[in-house]
Amino acid sequence: MKPHFISFNKIGDPSLGYISVAEISDTIPFEIKRVYWTYYTPQDVTRGGHAHYDLEQVIVAVSGTITFTTEDLEGNKDEFILDSPDKGLYLPKLIWRDIKFSHSAVLLCLASEKYIASDYIREYKTFSAL
Ligand code: TYD
């Protein structure tokens, strides 16, 4: 599978606000073992700069705008702009990513595995040699 957008449902209306729901097998194609969120990232900082051997993720910008630049092992590059809380980005294993944040953006990550430092590929040269 390639990185792709996921659409979450949007329950509610403009007068009340909305609820979006992520459920295993319905919208999330793996069992969620970990959830984390990142916040207060300055606008001039690029995070990411790694890939994972096994981890799959679904990312949501619950607030603000988050831009992912991705690259797969064949060298296919894509840009995904997460600018709405009903939009998700599915990232399969072995995807290099760089991440930029708007002011006050909050990134929510649903992850298929617990945190394993050795699952990270932090050297681009190691990634591109795979
Ligand atoms: P990292 O995944 O590199 O963040 P990003 O892709 O947003 O730049 O993680 C940043 C640091 O946090 C790194 O030292 C590993 C640590 N970390 C944990 O200890 N546990 C976790 O669950 C995560 C996601 C990161």
Q: Where are the domains of the chain?
A: 4-128
Q: What is the 3-class SS of 9-27, one letter each residue?
A: CCEEECCCEEECCCCECCC
For a ligand 1 pocket test, name from 34, 37, 38 the mutation site with the most ligand atoms within 8 angstroms of its C-beta: 38
CA 68 to ligand 1 centroid distance, Å? 16
Alpha helices in the chain (DSSP H): 124-128
Give the pLDDT confidence score for residue 26 in this predicted structure: 87
Tens-place pLDDT, residues 116-126 = 999 999 999 99
Residue nearest to atom 17 of ligand 1 (CA): 115
Give the pocket of ligand 1 (CB within 6 Å).
36, 38, 47-48, 50, 115
pTM (2 d.p.): 0.95
Give 53's contacts (C-beta < 8 A, 6+ positions apart). 93, 94, 119, 121
| Fold that domain 4-128 belongs to in CATH | Jelly Rolls (2.60.120)
| Grouped pLDDT means (10 residues each) for the chain, 130 residues | 96 96 94 97 96 98 98 98 98 98 97 98 97
| Closest-CA residue to 88 (of 17, 42, 30, 16) | 30
Give the pLDDT confidence score for residue 1 in this predicted structure: 87
Rounded Cα distance between 129 and 41, Å, is 30
Give the pLDDT confidence score for residue 115 in this predicted structure: 98
Question: What is the rounded radius of gyration, in angstroms, for the C-alpha atoms of the chain?
Answer: 15
Tens-place pLDDT, residues 44-68 = 999 999 999 999 999 999 999 999 9
Give the pLDDT confidence score for residue 108 in this predicted structure: 98
Measured in degrees and rounded to the nearest 5, phi and psi for residue 10 equal -135, 95
